[in-house]
Amino acid sequence: MRILSGIQPSGVLHAGNYYGMMKPSIELQEQGEAYYFIADYHSMTSLTDAKLRREYTRRVAIDFLACGLDPQRAVLFKQSDVPEHVELSWMLSSVCPMGLLERCHSYKDKLAKGISPNHGLFAYPVLMAADILIYDAEIVPVGQDQKQHVEVTRDLANKFNDLYGETFVVPEPRIRRDVAKVPGTDGEKMSKSYGNTIDIFGDEKAIRKSIMSIVMDSRTREEPKPDAEQNNAIQLLKLVADETVYRETLEALAAGGLGYGDLKKTLFEHYWQRFAPARKRREELLANPDYVDQVLREGAEKARSIASVVNRRARRVCGLE
């Protein structure tokens, strides 16, 4: 089974990225041939600072490795080290109806926010399709917000296969229902673009501050809260703490006598503990930059050896060769 996913180096990674994409991807590395990449071409649609792109790209690599990506099992690489993605993207663009892209929620959301769109942003799902199809990937682990993009990928694969003959494997998204949409501090989807994130590797003070700022209702400590399962802080606690802590906290909230301040303190402690082993590994990686360079270099070589074969297959069927 071939697995592939990508993550943009457009900011600092947060709990939504971790539970929605990184953790499922890391678990899948045990089950198949996994390819994970840092989508630096994609980040160009929103980030125009070269220095920041370099920094974030490196950070994503380090953070992913710290969280448990094992380069002996999964191939980790930087998208732009495999320029074949862009060539395939052009071949797919030319079979892609405009309407398919005009219907994409993530594009429409950005328009609605008043972002003046560039062509890269509009064509984003086509490049994403190329990223996936160029590895003959079967499974794409992502959060719910990327489902439609994987559907566009399926449409483009089928269209290309119909027009030029069987060329691509049609992939499937793998979305874990329990973490499809991790809530941010304001209860909306946690996202870099909403300023509601809790970072994975922030310093203690900053993480405590984000957690203490989680928006709750106005009930006092004494009031029973039988519906607490729905609130943001408890949903996050469910992710970071073990089942017993989660159940006991839920029961205490339902009974009354446990306030939201106490809940947030518990959440902070478990959050901090949860990422302690990864923080330690991250320190080691930061002290060993050559190792990270080597992982990315070897990853790019392995990725390119597959991508160049599939790209040639596509070039041949459409008459470029």
List residues with catalytic annotation: 110, 189, 192
Q: Which of 34, 123, 126, 140 is the binder for ligand TRP (CB under 6 A)?
A: 140
* Spatial separation of the C-alpha atoms in residues 177 and 170, rounded to whole Å: 22
Does 142 help bind ligand ADP (rule: CB under 6 A)?
Answer: yes
* Spatial separation of the C-alpha atoms in residues 54 and 59, rounded to whole Å: 9
Nearer to ligand TRP (CB atom), residue 173 or residue 211: 173
In the complex, minimum distance from the CB of residue 22 to ligand ADP, in angstroms, rounded to a whole number: 7
Does 132 help bind ligand TRP (rule: CB under 6 A)?
Answer: yes
Does 193 help bind ligand ADP (rule: CB under 6 A)?
Answer: yes
Nearer to ligand TRP (CB atom), residue 129 or residue 214: 129
Which of 19, 38, 18, 11 has the alpha carbon at shortest distance from 192?
Answer: 11
**If you count DSSP H runs as helices and E runs as strands, how many of each does the chain have, helices first?**
15, 5
Helix (H) or strand (E) holding 140: strand 139-141
Report the 3 state secondary structure along 12-42: CCEHHHHHHHHHHHHHHCCCCEEEEEECHHH
The pattern of x and - marking residues 149 through 188 that bind ligand TRP according to CB under 6 A reads x---------------------------------------
Residue pair 108/281 in contact (Cβ under 8 Å)? The answer is no
In the complex, minimum distance from the CB of residue 224 to ligand ADP, in angstroms, rounded to a whole number: 29
Does 8 help bind ligand TRP (rule: CB under 6 A)?
Answer: yes
The single-letter code of the amino acid at 63 is D
Q: Which stretch binds ligand TRP (CB under 6 A): 2-10, 22-30, 235-243, 246-254?
A: 2-10
Residue 88 contact among ligand TRP, ligand ADP, none, beta carbon within 5 to 8 Å by kind: none
In the complex, minimum distance from the CB of residue 303 to ligand ADP, in angstroms, rounded to a whole number: 18
Residue pair 229/249 in contact (Cβ under 8 Å)? The answer is no
Residue pair 285/114 in contact (Cβ under 8 Å)? The answer is no
- Of residues 157 through 186, those in contact with ligand ADP by CB under 6 A are 179, 181-182
* Spatial separation of the C-alpha atoms in residues 220 and 184, rounded to whole Å: 22
Q: Which stretch binds ligand ADP (CB under 6 A): 12-20, 72-80, 224-232, 233-241?
A: 12-20
Which residue is associated with the tokens 């630096």? Answer: 40
* Spatial separation of the C-alpha atoms in residues 193 and 60, rounded to whole Å: 17
Q: Which residues bind to ligand TRP, rule: CB under 6 A? A: 4-8, 39, 42, 128, 131-132, 140, 142, 146, 149
